[in-house]
Amino acid sequence: MKNSTFSYPPITKRTVVFYHNDCPDGFAGAWAAWKKMGAKAQYVPLRHQVPLPRVRGKTLYFIDIAPDEKTAKRLLLARNEVIIIDHHVSREKIARSQPIHSFSLSNSGAVLAWQFFHASKTVPQLLRHIEDMDLWALQLPHTKEISLWFMVHNDFTFRTFTKLVRVIASSASRREAIAEGKTIRGYEQKLVRLLADKASAARFEGKRAAVVNGGALKVLSSAVGNELVSRGFPIAIVWSQEGNEMYVSLRSARSTGIDVSKLAVRHGGGGHKAAAGFSFPADKPKPWKTL
């Protein structure tokens, strides 16, 4: 299923790092690789459901996003070395099938990548907060505030990310970041409630769900989904359209036992048991029914 609004750059280097596109965890993992390999590797953001470029005889790292079995087989037949660093349950089998891999459900892609490339070094504090947010563990103090501050200042370049790592590493500048994040959080919570209030009841894969159009506020998809689940819906669907593609974020309450990663895989996506996603062409019918 090809995304007509997105294409990959030409692959020009012997070593390629593919990472989860538009994802703080995936990009932080790519940064960890860059800190080790620098300009020796090419860094390419990867989207689900956009076919990989054809490559042969290269070393390919997949960070926070892994190919499906069919794609992995094609890559191996083309004499590529495939190294997977991932934490999504929907890709556990393919990750563990590779001779070189790092997989854990207890860590995020960013922390796994840091530990893979910098085994003897302490994980930077910013990566710990990115992990805490990505896993929705929220066990570290001020993770939400730091995540919102990061969202404002991050531009998905390694140079900027390096600066942000230094900010959070310093206790003084970290306090300033937390203060800024608290201000942002108040406004974010208001927007999340407003969007959640607009949700409609729906049926998805035979299950009761709440569905809402996240519109231009795609960055709030996770928060809106979690808000809807907290209101008692077994599944939350937050969708948005970018060009000719529809992006769907799924959330479920852990208490329901519903594994949304399995639902997402049916539609070409993947993720975690309680948080997953997929995309589909905008001219196709939505795979849920609004009630």
57 and 166 fall within a common domain: yes
Q: Say yes or no to pLDDT of 4 above 70.
A: no
Predicted confidence at residue 2, as pLDDT, reads 45
87 in a structural domain: yes
The phi, psi pair for 166, rounded to 5°, reads -65, -40
Per-residue pLDDT tens for 107-146? 999 999 999 999 999 999 999 999 999 998 999 999 999 9
31 in a structural domain: yes
| Span of 147-151, 169-173, 190-194, 240-244 with lowest mean pLDDT | 240-244
- Cα–Cα distance between 141 and 108 in angstroms, integer? 18
Residue 15 tokens, joined: 């070593």
Mean pLDDT across 266-277: 92
Is residue 132 a contact partner of residue 146, using CB atoms and an 8 Å limit? no
Whole-prediction pTM value?
Answer: 0.88
* Cα torsion 166, 172, 176, 181: sign: positive
215 and 167 fall within a common domain: no
212 and 87 fall within a common domain: no
134 and 89 fall within a common domain: yes
The phi, psi pair for 121, rounded to 5°, reads -110, 150
27 in a structural domain: yes
Predicted confidence at residue 5, as pLDDT, reads 58
**Cβ count within 10 A of residue 284:** 9
Predicted confidence at residue 1, as pLDDT, reads 41
CA atoms within 13 A on the CB side of 260: 27
87 and 203 fall within a common domain: no
Q: What is the DSSP letter of 220?
A: G
Pairing of strands 207-213, 235-242: parallel
Q: Say yes or no to pLDDT of 216 above 80.
A: no
- Cα–Cα distance between 160 and 157 in angstroms, integer? 6
284 in a structural domain: yes
Task: Work out how many domains the chain is built from and give that number.
Answer: 2
CA atoms within 13 A on the CB side of 61: 30
Q: Say yes or no to pLDDT of 3 above 50.
A: no
Banded pLDDT at 49 (limits 50, 70, 90): confident
Mean pLDDT across 165-176: 98
Residue 46 tokens, joined: 């990867």
Find where tokens 């948005």 sit. Answer: 240
235 and 273 fall within a common domain: yes
Per-residue pLDDT tens for 56-65? 999 999 999 9
For residue 275, the surrounding DSSP H or E stretch is strand 275-281
51 and 162 fall within a common domain: yes
- Cα–Cα distance between 90 and 92 in angstroms, integer? 6
158 and 213 fall within a common domain: no
48 and 161 fall within a common domain: yes
Predicted confidence at residue 251, as pLDDT, reads 97
Q: 54 lies in which domain range?
A: 15-179
Residue 283 tokens, joined: 């001219």
Q: Which of 146, 179, 212 is the last residue of a domain?
A: 179
- Cα–Cα distance between 188 and 186 in angstroms, integer? 5
Write the burial class of residue 171 (CB in 10 Å: 0-12 exposed, 13-18 middle, 19+ buried).
Answer: exposed
Over the chain, what is the mean pLDDT? 95
28 in a structural domain: yes
Predicted confidence at residue 219, as pLDDT, reads 80
172 and 250 fall within a common domain: no
Is residue 233 a contact partner of residue 210, using CB atoms and an 8 Å limit? yes
Q: What is the DSSP letter of 14?
A: S
Per-residue pLDDT tens for 244-265? 999 999 999 888 999 999 999 9
193 in a structural domain: no
84 and 112 fall within a common domain: yes
Give the CATH number, domain containing residue 233.
Answer: 3.10.310.30
Q: Say yes or no to pLDDT of 74 above 80.
A: yes
Give the CATH number, domain containing residue 65.
Answer: 3.90.1640
